C-alpha cells in the first residue's frame, strides 16, 4: 500500500518557520516509529502570488484534492495589502476550504496546566479548560452572494450576504453532535436569531437535527454576543460550541486567548469522507502569518505542531500517536520551555522557534 500522503503549504510570514518544526516531527515519526508519509510541498498565499500571479495555482488545488490531507502554515502580509481583492493571499485559503468542501472546522481550546497563570483571565477561570468550537467554514457571509462594492447614486455601498441553506446547517450540526458524543455530550449553538433570519433558521435546524438524531446530547442555544461574554466569564460551562463562519472566526480568536496564547491553537477543517473512509481534511494553526515577527525565529510552533497531531488523529487514525505528540508538548511546557508569546515582560529569556521544535522532538524521544 502507498504511504499516506501530505501536502504541505507553508505559506507566508511565520508559516514556513513553524512548518519547519512540523517537518522535524514528521521526520521523527519516520525514523523512530516507522510511520512514513509521502510529503510534497507547494505554495499558497502571497508567495504563490509572487510566483504565479494567483494565491493558489490550479495545479496546487488539484494536488490538494488528491492527498490524504493538507497541512497549511499561514497566509498574508502587509506586502500584499494593496493587491486586488480577487488575488489577496486569503483568497487562496478560502478557495481551498470551499473547493475541498471543508465545512466543519474544529477549533479546540485547551488550557495546559503550565500556562494557566499566563492567561489574561484568572487562573481558576481557565485552569483545566477543554472546549471545542465547531465553526461552519464553507458558507455564510464569507461566500454569500451578492457581494461587492457598488455605486448607488453618488456614494459607494459595500455588500456581503449572510446565506445558509438547511443542509449546510444540518451537516455542521451533525459534526458538532458527533464530537460532543465523544466528549462530554453537550452542545451550545450560537447565532443571532434575535436580529438575523439566517440565525432563526440556524436555531431551528440545529434543534431539529438534535431532536431527531441526537436526543441524548444536551443542547442549548445562545446569542453569539452573549456567548462571547460567557466565554470570558466562565468558559468551562461549555463543551462543544457550534456556530457559523463569521461568529466562529471571532469566537475562536477569543477562545484562543483563554489558553494563554493564540500561538497554541490548532485546527482541523474536515469535509465529506473520501474513498478511504477518512474525511477530506486541511490542518492549520488558528493564528495568522504574524508579519511583525516573521523571519526572526520568535514564532511559537506549537499551534502548527498540534495541528499535525490532529492530522494523526483524524486523517490517519493514529490517535495514540496524536496523544503522544500532545503529551510531548505538555511535557515541554511543564519543563518551562517558552517562546516569547508565552512569557510576561520580565520573566526570562524565550527560546527560538527551532529550539521549541527540538524540545518537542526530545520529549518524543523520551516517550519511547
Q: For ligand IPM, which stretch binds (CB under 6 A), given 55-63, 90-98, 299-307, 349-357?
A: 90-98
Nearer to ligand IPM, 9 or 114 (CB): 9
Flag whether 164 is marked binding: no
CB 253 within 8 A of CB 262: yes
249 binds Mg ion (CB under 5 A): yes
Flag whether 113 is marked binding: no
Nearer to Mg ion, 191 or 249 (CB): 249
List active site positions. 142, 192, 225, 249, 253
- Which listed residue (12, 68, 168, 249) binds ligand IPM by CB under 6 A? 249
CA distance 66 to 345: 46
CB 253 within 8 A of CB 135: no
| Cell numbers that stand for 320 in this block | 495514540
We find the least distance from the C-beta atom of residue 253 to Mg ion, in angstroms, to be 6
93 binds ligand IPM (CB under 6 A): yes
Nearer to ligand IPM, 93 or 311 (CB): 93
Which parts of the chain are beta strand (E)? Answer: 5-11, 38-42, 69-74, 104-110, 130-136, 144-152, 155-161, 186-191, 218-223, 240-243, 266-273, 279-285
136 binds Mg ion (CB under 5 A): no
Q: For ligand IPM, which stretch binds (CB under 6 A), given 7-15, 89-97, 209-217, 345-353?
A: 89-97
- Out of ligand IPM, Mg ion, none, what residue 93 binds, judged by CB under 5 to 8 A for its kind, is ligand IPM
Q: For ligand IPM, which stretch binds (CB under 6 A), given 88-96, 144-152, 235-243, 270-278?
A: 88-96
CA distance 304 to 21: 8
- Which listed residue (90, 208, 225, 358) binds ligand IPM by CB under 6 A? 90
| Cell numbers that stand for 148 in this block | 461587492
164-192 residues labelled b (16+ CB within 10 A) or e (exposed)? beeebbbbbbbbbbbbbeeeeebbbbbbb
With cell 475541498, the residue in question is 100
Contacts 24+ apart (CB under 8 A), 319-322: 321/29, 321/33, 321/35
Flag whether 294 is marked binding: yes
We find the least distance from the C-beta atom of residue 163 to ligand IPM, in angstroms, to be 17
Interface residue list for Mg ion (CB under 5 A): 249
Interface residue list for ligand IPM (CB under 6 A): 90, 93-94, 249, 286, 288
Amino acid at each position: 500500500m502507498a504511504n499516506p500522503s501530505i501536502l504541505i503549504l507553508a505559506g507566508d510570514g511565520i508559516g514556513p518557520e513553524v512548518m519547519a518544526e512540523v517537518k522535524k516531527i514528521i521526520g521523527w515519526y519516520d525514523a523512530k516509529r516507522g510511520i512514513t508519509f509521502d510529503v510534497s510541498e507547494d505554495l499558497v498565499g502571497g508567495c504563490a502570488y509572487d510566483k504565479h500571479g494567483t494565491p493558489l495555482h490550479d495545479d496546487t488545488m488539484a494536488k490538494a484534492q488528491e492527498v490524504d490531507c493538507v497541512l497549511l502554515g499561514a497566509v498574508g502580509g502587509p506586502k500584499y495589502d494593496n493587491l486586488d481583492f480577487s488575488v489577496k493571499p486569503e483568497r487562496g485559503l478560502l478557495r481551498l476550504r470551499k473547493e475541498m468542501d471543508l465545512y466543519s472546522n474544529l477549533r479546540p481550546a485547551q488550557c495546559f496546566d503550565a500556562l494557566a497563570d499566563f492567561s489574561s483571565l484568572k487562573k481558576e477561570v481557565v485552569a483545566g479548560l477543554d472546549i471545542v468550537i465547531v465553526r461552519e467554514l464553507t458558507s455564510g457571509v464569507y461566500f454569500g452572494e451578492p457581494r461587492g462594492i457598488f455605486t448607488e447614486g453618488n456614494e459607494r455601498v459595500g455588500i456581503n450576504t449572510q446565506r445558509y441553506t438547511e443542509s449546510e446547517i444540518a451537516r455542521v450540526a451533525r459534526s458538532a453532535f458527533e464530537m460532543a458524543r465523544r466528549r462530554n455530550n453537550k452542545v451550545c449553538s450560537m447565532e443571532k436569531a434575535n436580529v438575523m433570519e439566517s440565525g432563526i433558521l440556524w436555531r431551528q435546524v440545529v434543534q431539529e437535527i438534535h431532536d431527531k438524531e441526537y436526543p441524548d446530547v444536551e443542547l442549548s442555544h445562545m446569542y453569539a454576543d452573549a456567548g462571547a461574554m460567557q466565554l470570558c466569564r466562565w468558559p468551562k460551562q461549555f463543551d462543544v460550541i457550534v456556530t457559523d463562519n463569521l461568529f466562529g472566526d471571532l469566537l475562536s480568536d477569543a477562545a484562543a486567548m483563554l489558553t494563554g496564547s493564540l500561538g497554541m491553537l490548532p485546527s482541523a477543517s474536515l469535509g465529506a469522507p473520501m474513498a478511504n473512509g477518512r474525511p477530506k481534511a486541511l490542518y492549520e494553526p488558528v493564528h495568522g502569518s504574524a508579519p511583525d515577527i516573521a523571519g526572526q525565529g520568535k514564532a511559537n510552533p506549537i499551534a502548527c505542531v498540534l495541528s499535525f497531531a490532529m492530522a494523526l488523529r483524524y486523517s490517519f487514525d493514529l490517535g495514540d500517536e496524536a496523544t503522544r505528540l500532545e503529551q510531548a508538548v505538555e511535557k515541554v511546557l511543564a519543563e518551562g520551555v517558552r517562546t516569547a508569546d508565552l512569557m510576561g515582560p520580565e520573566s526570562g529569556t524565550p527560546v527560538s522557534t527551532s529550539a521549541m521544535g527540538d524540545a518537542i522532538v526530545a520529549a518524543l524521544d523520551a516517550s519511547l
